[in-house]
Amino acid sequence: MENLPLLDLRQFQEGDFKQKWHFVEALGAAFSEIGFVLIEHHLVSPALQQAMYEKVQQFFALPAEVKAQYIIPGTAGQRGYTPPNQEHAKGHSVPDLKEFFHIGPEIEDPTDPLYERLPRNVWVKEIPGFRETFLSAYAKFMETGRYLLRAIALYLGLEEGYFDELIRNGPSLLRLLHYYPLSEGIPIPEGATRAAEHEDINLITLLIGASAEGLEVLTREGHWLAPKVEPHQMVINVGDMLQRLTNNKLRSTTHRVTLPPPDKRHLPRYSIPFFLHPRPEVSLACLPSCIDELHPKAYPDATAEEYLNERLVELGLKK
């Protein structure tokens, strides 16, 4: 495999019956084989991407004491700013070489139990248009993810709208991510990298093209594949929650972000992934249709909230 499979979302949104089912089957096959796919003609426009990256760079260029004002205690890093040396991959003790800022849903319905339960977003007042830009981006990522989950539902033999209510107002996260420059002459901690090999927690992750190379995906054959991603393409991958729900039918694949060559380590890398989560009360019990004699139930029952809390502890973000 030289690159990840490439699909056009318009086939699912606007295509005839044959085109729509081609998309469904191709997406399901990619998620079953490698757990990753490239999508073009997604809903995050080039203009919105440019606006996001401008504001991401502006935020991380702020002085450390200003960024520290946006650390939100008690949220396990689920809102606001998380400084360097906080998060490490599951099974690793050395923190990743990164800092990030999290934005969650803006729940407007006070009758939804999550209106009071989920933490509020914080908005960076030093950067004009920060709130408006990322609220717009959040909505477009969510809309793209909804279409993809509808295709996944059809692939699994479920009603097309199966996931719609399960993800409504769920704690999905837009992560503004900065892999900071590494100064020449300053030693890197042993075993440290930009993001150690890991699997994502959520249902699916949507990632618009990063500002530099580094993403690598572990294939079934045990080789690291460095995808070639064009600026207009979005990388989509299966998370552990969807793998659990489908009893390993769809694969949550190990991936990492490697250190650049020594002559490029003084350069930053920016990335904006969207982690699409179900509502906390949603059961991740394996779907009955994904269990048979050849594929016995592989996971104990758990809610999305129980599993998320378990993983946040493993990442060092929650005690």
In this predicted structure, the answer to whether residue 313 has a pLDDT above a threshold of 90 is: no
Q: Are 155 and 245 in contact (CB under 8 A)?
A: no
- Strand-strand pairing, 99-103 and 173-179: antiparallel
Q: Could you tell me if residue 80 is inside a domain? A: yes
Q: Are 78 and 102 in contact (CB under 8 A)?
A: yes
Tokens read off for 248: 């390993």
- pLDDT for res 170: 96
- pLDDT for res 185: 59
Q: pLDDT of 123-139, one tens digit each?
A: 999 999 999 999 999 99
In this predicted structure, the answer to whether residue 142 has a pLDDT above a threshold of 70 is: yes
Domain that holds residue 100: 6-314
Which pLDDT band holds residue 192 (cuts at 50, 70, 90)? confident
Which pLDDT band holds residue 210 (cuts at 50, 70, 90)? low
CATH number at residue 283: 2.60.120.330
Q: Which residue has the higher pLDDT, 235 or 313?
A: 235
* CA separation for the pair 98, 86 (Å, rounded): 9
Average pLDDT, the chain: 93
Q: Could you tell me if residue 1 is inside a domain? A: no
- DSSP for 55-102 reads HHHHHHTS-HHHHGGGB-TTSTTSSEEE-TT----TT--SPPS-EEEE
In this predicted structure, the answer to whether residue 205 has a pLDDT above a threshold of 90 is: yes
In this predicted structure, the answer to whether residue 188 has a pLDDT above a threshold of 90 is: no
What percent of the chain stands above pLDDT 90?
A: 78
Q: Could you tell me if residue 150 is inside a domain? A: yes
- pLDDT for res 259: 85
Q: The pTM is what?
A: 0.94
Quick one: average pLDDT of 72-78?
Answer: 90
Q: pLDDT of 30-47, one tens digit each?
A: 999 999 999 999 999 999
CA 237 vs. chain centroid, Å, equals: 8
- pLDDT for res 288: 95
Quick one: average pLDDT of 206-235?
Answer: 88
- What total number of domains does the chain contain? 1
Which pLDDT band holds residue 212 (cuts at 50, 70, 90)? low
Q: Could you tell me if residue 319 is inside a domain? A: no
Q: What is the DSSP letter of 303?
A: B
